[in-house]
Structure 1
């Protein structure tokens, strides 16, 4: 008997190692499958990784490229990766109110250093859905043991309408949708089952929260709202379970908060009280809501679109924010799963949480086909809560997608164990229809080809010299198509200079809110010349640039610029020099 027990103890670790090894190889296989899908989704950029960017809203893509390069520059020079004066000089930009993505910048630093920030951005965009899907598959392992079921659901989640919508506009921080799976893992570990190591679980969750802070703080805030909804749903459905789990949950929470605030004390200071933060509401609350009709009618980014009335063309916002599509097939699947009692302990809470989040995603108004049908919605209660009041409720859609994907995972696993009847085949057909209904359109993710003048890639650092402050024309703006190309040029120069302009969220002297660098007299003169108006005094414009510390003006000629000759003459008058043509630009040195 003693010998048999000893042999069993020797076999058990070996068996666990085999199970863990199979699980790891399963994840590798899933990651490879998702990688193929992501490469197909981003096929347009594959032949031009270094000169094109994913996303038709190039200003956002170029903004991310700038921050990827800034992180590398900051780390290599000892500068602050979360605060910079390389935009909006001399006042600076607070990274925590923008998109510095330091976690991704660190991950992609080898690519940035060897192949450049454009390639790093494109590679990160391709990897985002893969990481999101794999995170979902790993996080739901104990809830749904079947790898096949998790792989199907993880694929739906990774390439959900939300992820595809934000991939189409180059939102790197949102295609890395790893936080909802982390939330599922924490709820499962800390609430749904007995946790023998609550301090460890809490510490890991705190680390995950810190990493999400380094991806995007708004997703963290949206996740906090979602976690509160999950806790309330579980407490109301099973108060006895919550009472039993409360002591270990409190230990996990304490451990989580300690780890999080140790890692994120400085980022939180920048967020709450740091310099150059915005001092008033960033965007009107009625411009950040989901359109309820999007639940049934997809945007043009979805391949299979049954929309004879053209309702999808009338949705509020733009396709990059129309990521809330569920569709009749998936809605029917959820209803059937609830009706037949598939894993009630998982499906019912997931469905209820998803339904509540859908209501919250509508924002302060119920909007249907871009028309306000109900002027007051629950989200209005959060408008005056610090930080939470800045949330765009439409971004709740990724947590809704996670709830739906979890339901699909349980549904598919249940199908595997049922007898092959007529009803079973009908359920399989519904599952296939659900998957097909979320397939992205072949050209859902477009790219923008943006050649960079040779001056920035070859000559800027040497010609401008250390400490250069440059006024770049055209200046960076928030115009979605081509507005932030000046940030791309600066990034490609290796941060060879500081710039007075920029595309950011922040503030400045006498300006509680800025969404781009303020227009100075020199740039106002250019705007006036384009309309045939008087540009004003070149002497006054020169004096203002000098007061800002500008040492050079770099004029990049634009094809089709109707006022090109007048802009060149105006720049000569302001700088007091004739300018030097260098690598596709005209450089004007400005006396201090």
Structure 2
């Protein structure tokens, strides 16, 4: 027998119940190969035949030792037979041919010539090639059905290959053995699976016209093309579902670890860096659930800022989640809803970005998963994850971006994608309007950048995009017309929320690490941000350097240019109206000045624009890592003299790939988020928790806590929730109007008494209170329709007690752990 290491060619013939045709087929192949100068072997794979197929192969092997039989115990299909035969092969090249020799073995010369003269790793026979010679046709119906089936396979699975199912194929031996070892299909679909494997690894496939004759008794029918698609769909679904489920589990685990301190202390845990936002959000969830349970308007309430009330649509109660989660809130409480929204929201956001990147950026799911994880768990998102679910629960944004990208295709389904874009955008209105505004800004920056890089795409994309956006508006506007009208013109509506000229990011904040990053420092980050929930940059210098390197290395790609330009533009805009050059007294005008006083933008904290950088950087990471991984997978140890000369180049490629992956790890490791810290919540005063307030508060009256709750001290909202929302509160933590111009402010419009109590609470001396102060206090209490004034334990409690006693001209009473003054009707 010829030494396997010197074999030029292995011929693999799958056979199932082929006793009638196998003997002449083997003779024809042997005669053709015998006349060549090749060292060859012929492998017959019996796929569990019920006739004499295996006996015929044994007889041939007995006459010629170059013929071998590989027998399967049971019939499992052509794919399984080919996998066995290729695995047993030893040739430098492997020819696959069907037992009916519909393509004559002499056509091997054409395939060999193509493989010798081209940079291809496979040459496949094609009956669909314009130069193919069809000697004997099938029936017209059968031929038409086969042609349609092949076109469908080509469109769905392997674009560019005209005939995937011809059984006559010549492969590089090592690559064939690697591909078939990876294959999973047992049926006809293995041909497509192998071609997909070659394409995925960057191995060129040449399509060669061949002579072909239809053979009577052919086992391949038109229905088999449908089976191929079904097999491929099942394989893809299994592989995708495993990968998707694994990534989803990793995203969920990451979210749970981030909030593990909250989940382990749901009874009294409070996110330490959330300020008063956890109180506010739990109140939003509780009030929405209460409105749903009692069929009240979910867009307005008087439980805060009594009696004026709060325009909930002008705030951020996230009705898109708080309404469907109302049963959870009613059954388990708003703290559970708060924890669920944060944990599952971040998980869903990471998964949504992963799906977007896997579709539009990279074919490698793990690279897309890394990009999705970064987009969801980037430092700005983790900062907002302390307190602002509307800025970290962003799972709808990737869906909106996906629909916009779909609409840019010349063959876009304008009606379907436009309707879905309208529905998705309308739903996002009820999750977070400022996020939608920033996302729209990011999409616009990306679109402009990409259009400059690919003007040919702009010429074909603008029309379907414009039509789709028009359809989306027709769907969007009726759904949001009433809520937005109420928000901007209804009771307690306001025009804008001003944040001053210092809400932009410092340039240094992009290079530093956030307070919650693995290598971050709270004191450093605190100096560069408004507060710990507004650390809107802090990507860190290693990641900025890596993004720069990726951009330079892949600059020729339009996608990279657009992503880089989007990130840079967003970063510059986030610096605000005035850009202070670090370590100098130089102040430059910032481009945000052009938007700062425009409608809608006037309410935006400009530092938040840097959040647009997160998905842009995530896409760059996904693209770069996907290319690194794809390069690694496509490398195989070459054979032959030329292959030995290429070993050094492959080794260098492996080094470069390793360096690249290490660089990604080094850039990301410092900004890995650490679990968010939790403080112990102070207990709710028994006067409120135990319902003692009911004796003093009649319907239509409020509980006035001292001081009146405001954005800096909103514990009273939590007490109100624990009391079953049984009484309203003056003041509170919300956005509402102030003054004749209805400028938006945080909290209620101040009154004399609320200002006095707040000042004393924070250290001001008790003033000399006379009749004018007392009259003002009576007027304010009457305005608030107060039933009882409650002073809970706190700092400066003695000073507050003296102040309230002088204002009301009487001493308080100690009830249920608090001081009270009964001032009701």
What displacement does 1:527 show? Answer: 5.0
CA RMSD across the alignment:
2.8
Per-residue CA shift, 1:100-150, capped at 9, x if unaligned?
111221243233112211232123222232122111112223122221111
Residue number among 732, 741, 748 corresponding to 1:517 in the alignment:
748
Say if 2:270 and 2:679, in contact at 8 Å, map to a contact too: yes
**Aligned residue for 1:549?**
785
Question: What do the CA deviations read for 1:473-527 (whole angstroms, capped 9, x no partner)?
Answer: 2321222xxx111111122222211112112221256573442224445445545
Does the Cα contact within 8 Å between 1:160 and 1:401 map onto a contact in 2?
yes
Aligned length: 580
- Say if 2:766 and 2:803, in contact at 8 Å, map to a contact too: no
For 1:306 and 1:555, how far apart are their aligned partners in 2?
38
Moved more, 529-538 or 388-397: 529-538
Deviation of 1:436 after TM superposition, in Å, equals 0.7
Q: What is aligned with 1:456?
A: 688
2:365 is matched with which residue?
A: 147
Q: Deviations over 1:215-251 (max 9, x none)?
A: 2211111122222212211222222212212221122
Hey, what does 2:318 align to over in structure 1? 101
Which one has a larger percent helix, Structure 1 or Structure 2?
A: 1
Which of these residues, 203, 210, 226, is aligned with residue 419 of structure 2? Answer: 203
The structural deviation recorded for 1:265 is: 1.0
Q: How does 1:296-335 map to 2 (within 5 A)?
A: 296-305=511-520, 312=525, 314-335=527-548
Given candidates 700, 706, 711, the residue that maps to 1:467 is: 700
The worse-fitting range, judged by mean Cα deviation, of 255-264 and 176-185 is 176-185
Work out which of the residue numbers 653, 665, 668 in structure 2 matches 1:432.
665
**1:563 & 1:135 partners in 2: Cα distance?**
53
- The correspondence for 2:328, drawn from 106, 111, 126, is 111
In structure 2, C-alpha distance between the alignment counterparts of 1:370 and 1:501, rounded to whole Å: 42
Alignment partner, residue 581 of structure 1: 815
Q: Please give the alpha-carbon distance, in whole angstroms, between the structure 1 residues aligned to 2:570 and 2:792.
A: 47
The separation in 2 between residues aligned to 1:496 and 1:511, in whole angstroms, is 33
Measured after TM superposition, the shift of residue 409 of structure 1 is 0.7
Tell me the residue number matched to 2:732: 502
Q: Is 1:132–1:177's contact at 8 Å kept on the other side of the alignment?
A: yes
8 Å CA contact 1:103, 1:215 repeated in 2:
yes
Please tell me whether the aligned partners of residues 294 and 324 of structure 1 are also in contact (alpha carbons under 8 angstroms). Answer: yes
1:169-248 pair list within 5 angstroms: 170-191=387-408, 193-248=409-464
Q: Equivalent of 2:377, from 159, 166, 179?
A: 159
Aligned to 1:491: 721
State which drifts further: 2-11 or 235-244: 2-11
Cα 1:213–1:69, aligned 2, differ >3 Å: closer, same or farther? same
User: Is the CA contact (8 Å cut-off) linking 1:58 and 1:484 kept in structure 2?
Assistant: no
Q: For 2:466, which of 246, 250, 275 is the aligned residue? A: 250
User: d(CA) in 2 for partners of 1:312 and 1:280?
Assistant: 28
Q: Summarize the Cα distance change of 1:179–1:293 in structure 2 as closer, same or farther, 3 Å threshold.
A: farther
User: For residues 559 and 400 of structure 2, what CA distance do their matches in structure 1 show?
Assistant: 15
Report the CA distance between 1:380 and its aligned residue: 0.7
* Structure 1 residue 18 displacement after superposition: 4.6
Tell me, yes or no, if structure 1 residue 43 matches structure 2 residue 276. Answer: no
- Give the whole-Å Cα distance in 1 for the aligned partners of 2:819 and 2:699: 19
1:563 alignment partner in structure 2? 799
Measure, in 2, the Cα distance between the counterparts of 1:93 and 1:466: 19
Over 3 Å counting, the alpha-carbon distance change for 1:491 and 1:287 in structure 2 is: farther
Which of 576, 586, 598 is equivalent to 1:363? 576
Distance apart, 1:253 and its partner CA: 0.2
Contact 2:731 2:747 in 1 (8 A): yes
8 Å contact from structure 2 (residues 288, 319) kept in 1: yes
Q: How far did 1:11 drift?
A: 4.0
2: distance between equivalents of 1:545 and 1:155?
51
SS of alignment partner, residue 506 of structure 1 = strand
Aligned mates of 2:556, 2:351 — CA distance in 1: 23
What pairs up with 1:380-419 in 2 under 5 angstroms? 380-419=593-632
Q: Describe the SS at the equivalent of 1:142.
A: helix
**Residues 193-218 of structure 1 deviation map (CA, whole Å, 9 limit, x = unaligned):** 44532222222222222222112211
Which runs of 5 or more residues in structure 2 are unaligned?
A: 1-141, 146-219, 633-652
Query: Retained in 2: the 8 A contact 1:54–1:447?
Result: yes
Counterpart position of 2:134:
none
Residue 560 of structure 2 is matched in structure 1 by: 347
Residue 17 to residue 159, structure 1, CA distance change in 2 (3 Å): same
The verdict on how the C-alpha distance between 1:569 and 1:27 changes in structure 2, with shifts beyond 3 A counting, is: same
* Structure 1 match to 2:285: 68
- What CA distance in whole angstroms lies between the structure 2 residues aligned with 1:371 and 1:496? 56
How far apart are residue 469 of structure 1 and its match?
A: 2.1
SS in 1 for 2:737: strand
Identify the match of residue 711 of structure 2 among 466, 475, 478. Answer: 478
Where structure 1 has 5 or more consecutive residues not aligned to the other structure, the ranges are none
Structure 1 position 531 matched with structure 2 position 765: yes
- SS of the counterpart of 2:328? helix
SS in 2 for 1:203: helix
CA spacing shift, 1:433–1:107, aligned 2, 3 Å:
farther
**Is 1:301–1:319's contact at 8 Å kept on the other side of the alignment?**
no
